Amino acid sequence: MPPEGLPRPEEMWSGAVADSSDDSHPVIERTEEFEGRVWSVVRDRVGFGHHEATRDVIIHPGAVAVIALDDEDRILLIRQYRHPVAMYMFEPPAGLLDAAGESALQTAKRELAEEAGVRASQWNVLVDLFNSPGGSSEAIRVFLARDLESLPAGRPHTGEAEEAHLPQAWVPLAEAVDLVLHGRVGSPSAVAGILALAALPSRDEGDLRPANDPWNARAWLEANSRVRRV
């Protein structure tokens, strides 16, 4: 039960608990402040009824990540340098949705091959998330990949500086959960993907979404000019 007297009755929500775009607020004016190689920053003047507010927003292309699970119940994490935080991080294979005409699933399959030299024959959607919705439009879809096999030719090298050397760690799921809960792994796709997998009632198809499950949040972003075309 919430503390007595809190919140006020008018602040009690009575509808379904689910993210919604039913009551969005109009952008009165938009100014592009910065255009980078991957994302842009816009300044929006937003209407809130009788009020207005100014918000800076990172317009992001979106991304996918892959929790690859082997027959020994281990997940694949790769060690990669992330310059904005000046740290090497253990993450699942992941990448931007930056290839024209490529679906989220196709991007996930490509990134698993490019970053890990692995392919999978069984795919499901594991979890969707917004990375930092207070300031960025980045939406991430995390897939679960199973029935794994190594590519005969190994991992292709794409020429990206951060991807030149990507050491792999195959971590038992229970150990991966412990790494997350003790703050030793902090990548958002790793945290969300690992905990989502651990929380599954089972790994039967009935408890997992199909790989082509509609991504309504992503469609909403596209329809409302919140996806950067790279």
How many whole angstroms separate alpha carbon 49 and alpha carbon 171? Answer: 50
Q: Could you tell me whether strands 87-91 and 40-48 are parallel, antiparallel, or unpaired per DSSP bridges? A: unpaired
Is 205 catalytic? The answer is no
Q: What do you get for the CA distance between the two ends of the chain, in Å?
A: 47
User: CB burial class (10 A; 0-12, 13-18, 19+) of residue 32?
Assistant: exposed
Beta strands 139-150 and 63-68, pairing class = parallel
Say which of 10, 72, 163, 175 is annotated catalytic.
163
Provide the 10 A C-beta neighbour count for residue 220: 16
| 91 and 112 Cβ atoms separated by less than 8 Å | no
Helices (H) and strands (E) in the chain, counts: 4, 11
Residue 30: exposed, middle, or buried by beta-carbon count in 10 A (0-12, 13-18, 19+)? middle
What would the DSSP string read from start to end of 129-192? Answer: EES-TTTB--EEEEEEEEEEEE-TT-PPP---GGGS---EEEEEHHHHHHHHHTTS---HHHHH
Residues, the chain: 230
- Give the distance, in angstroms, between the CA of residue 35 and the centroid of all CA atoms in the same chain: 22
Active site residues: 163
